């Protein structure tokens, strides 16, 4: 198939895939309503907590799965677009099957196929769980020492929404993304292409403002908005399950490189990974809830954290929704990729990652399509990646600093002598 014909063929397939995948809203359909939180916490307050037992609606995505299978069969796996379509369609099929089995133990296996496990190996040889425990150890040693009183000031959801809306309107010079309060949201925040929802009544910190701006708005929303600009691959606007690790890794990396992340944030991410491991090993919802409580979270936040682990699965133990394992794995993968891109003079790939929601492998395969103009470069970029010189400076320092082994710095005096 000639180049132009191949592009047109796969563009048509992708438009079909975007339509077929649209109703497969994995996270929203797997999550619980806010009423589950109130019922559990009421029982907890009375000293008689019951395991949540949310009855999920039944879903039938058989028609969508057949269409996705047909799309994968019609794609050319030797073409960059075809390979993207095959892998994306397969991911959507797994997500559809997961939603069809909500409330059963099969969800665990399907979740692992999509997102991996806490025991998955990272670049360098450590597992995701080992990395999480490293951050938990550091947090336990340092968080109380490092958190200043000014950083403990709470901001209401209403005040945060106003500040976040102002920042976004300034960035776009228009109302492109609306910030809304949602009383039914269990998570503290959720982002789409043109809307960011905050949980009404939740308390936020000043760090939360910057984290929401960099993580939700300038990664999740921007990649969706830029993906909507792609005539050839409209599915780049969708949160395909296979791009989750890169998307979340890029979002946490954005927090890190802008100085928006704090040790408490790393602790929250790491606690979730350990909690997923506990649930897989047999801990039930109540045991995981208590784990978060004992780790310093409030009752509301402990419920929110525990329900993330038990989305879609029985709450009696031995099952888990493993999505939260991707945050650290994705962060380390994206950080490693950015350093590789600097070393090989390919920082442009870091900017192209914002042209839509894609994996690290996708952006490398798509480079010739960006060169030819078949794929559009991102219309919007966060400041930290748009300023190539600043990004290069940070990464260059990271490349060299990582060669220094602290084990070889034997004493405080030897550091002082530097």
CB 134 within 8 A of CB 273: no
Considering the entire predicted model, what is its pTM? Answer: 0.89
- In a structure prediction context, what are the per-residue pLDDT tens digits for the chain, which is 418 residues long? 657 899 999 999 999 999 999 999 999 999 999 899 999 999 999 999 999 999 999 999 999 999 999 999 999 999 999 999 999 999 999 999 999 999 999 999 999 999 999 999 987 788 999 999 998 988 887 755 555 544 567 889 999 999 999 999 999 999 999 999 999 887 888 888 999 999 998 888 888 889 999 999 999 999 999 999 999 999 999 999 999 999 999 999 999 999 888 788 899 999 999 999 999 999 999 999 999 999 999 999 999 999 999 999 999 999 999 999 999 999 999 999 998 998 889 999 999 999 999 999 999 999 999 999 999 999 999 999 887 666 766 666 665 655 545 455 444 444 344 4
pLDDT of residue 252: 94
pLDDT of residue 411: 47
3-state secondary structure the chain: CCHHHHHHHHHHHHHHHHHHHCCCCHHHHHCCCHHHHHHHHHHHHCCCCCCCCCCCCCCCCHHHHHHHHHHHHHCCCCCHHHHHHHHHHHHHHHHHHHHHCCCCCHHHHHHHHHHCCCCCECCCCCEHHHHHHHHHHHHHHHHHHHCCHHHHCCEEHHHHHHHHHHHHHHHHCCCCCEEEEECCCCCCEEECCCEEEEECCCEECHHHHHHHHHHHHHHHHHHHHHHCCCCCCHHHHCCCHHHHHHHHHHHHHHHHHCCCCCHHHHHHHHHHHHHHHHHHCCCCHHHHHHHHHHCCCCHHHHHHHHHHHCCCCCCCCCCCCCHHHHHHHHHHHHHHHHHHHHHCCCHHHHHHHHHCCCCHHHHHHHHHHHHHCCCCCCCCCCHHHHCHHHHHHHHHHHHHHCCCCHHHCCCHHHHHCC
pLDDT of residue 60: 98
pLDDT of residue 408: 53
Q: Where are the domains of the chain?
A: 120-403
pLDDT of residue 331: 92
Task: Give CA–CA dist 324/101, Å, rounded.
Answer: 20
Burial code (b: 16+ CB inside 10 Å, e: under 16) for 285-322 equals: bbebbebbbebbbeebbbbbbbbbbbbbbbbebebbbb
pLDDT of residue 416: 41
| Cα end-to-end span (Å), the chain | 61
Phi and psi at 83, nearest 5°, equal -60, -40
């Amino acid at each position: 198939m000639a180049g132009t014909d191949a592009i047109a063929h796969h563009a048509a397939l992708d438009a079909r895939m975007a339509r077929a995948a649209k109703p497969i809203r994995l996270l929203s359909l797997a999550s619980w309503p806010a009423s589950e939180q109130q019922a559990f916490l009421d029982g907890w307050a009375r000293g008689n907590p019951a395991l949540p037992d949310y009855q999920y609606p039944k879903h039938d995505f058989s028609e969508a799965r057949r269409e996705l299978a047909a799309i994968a069969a019609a794609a050319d796996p030797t073409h960059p677009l075809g390979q993207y379509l095959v892998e994306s369609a397969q991911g959507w099929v797994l997500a559809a099957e997961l939603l069809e089995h909500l409330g059963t133990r099969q969800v665990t296996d399907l979740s692992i196929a999509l997102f991996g496990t806490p025991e998955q190996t990272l670049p360098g040889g450590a597992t995701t769980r080992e990395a999480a425990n490293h951050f938990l150890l550091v947090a336990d040693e340092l968080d109380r020492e490092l958190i200043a009183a000014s950083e403990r000031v709470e901001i209401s959801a209403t005040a945060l929404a106003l500040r976040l809306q102002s920042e976004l309107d300034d960035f776009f010079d228009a109302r492109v993304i609306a910030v809304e309060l949602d009383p039914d949201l269990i998570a503290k925040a959720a982002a789409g292409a043109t809307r960011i929802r905050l949980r009404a009544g939740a308390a936020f910190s000043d760090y939360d403002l910057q984290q929401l701006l960099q993580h939700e708005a300038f990664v999740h929303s921007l990649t969706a908005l830029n993906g909507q600009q792609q005539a050839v691959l409209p599915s780049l606007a969708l949160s395909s399950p296979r791009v989750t690790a890169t998307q979340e890794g890029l979002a946490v990396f954005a927090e890190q490189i802008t100085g928006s992340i704090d040790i408490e944030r790393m602790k929250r991410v790491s606690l979730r990974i350990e909690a997923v491991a506990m649930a897989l090993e047999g801990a039930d919802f109540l045991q995981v809830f208590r784990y978060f409580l004992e780790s310093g979270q409030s009752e509301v936040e402990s419920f929110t954290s525990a329900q993330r682990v038990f989305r879609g699965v029985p709450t009696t133990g031995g099952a888990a929704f493993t999505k939260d394992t991707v945050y650290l794995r994705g962060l380390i993968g994206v950080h490693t990729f950015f350093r590789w891109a600097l070393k090989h003079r390919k920082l442009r790939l870091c900017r192209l990652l914002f042209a839509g929601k894609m994996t690290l492998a996708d952006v490398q395969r798509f480079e010739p399509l960006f060169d030819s103009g078949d794929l559009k470069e991102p219309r919007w970029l966060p400041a930290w990646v748009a300023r190539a010189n600043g990004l290069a400076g940070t990464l260059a320092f990271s490349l060299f600093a990582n060669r220094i082994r602290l084990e070889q710095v034997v004493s405080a005096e030897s550091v002082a002598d530097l």
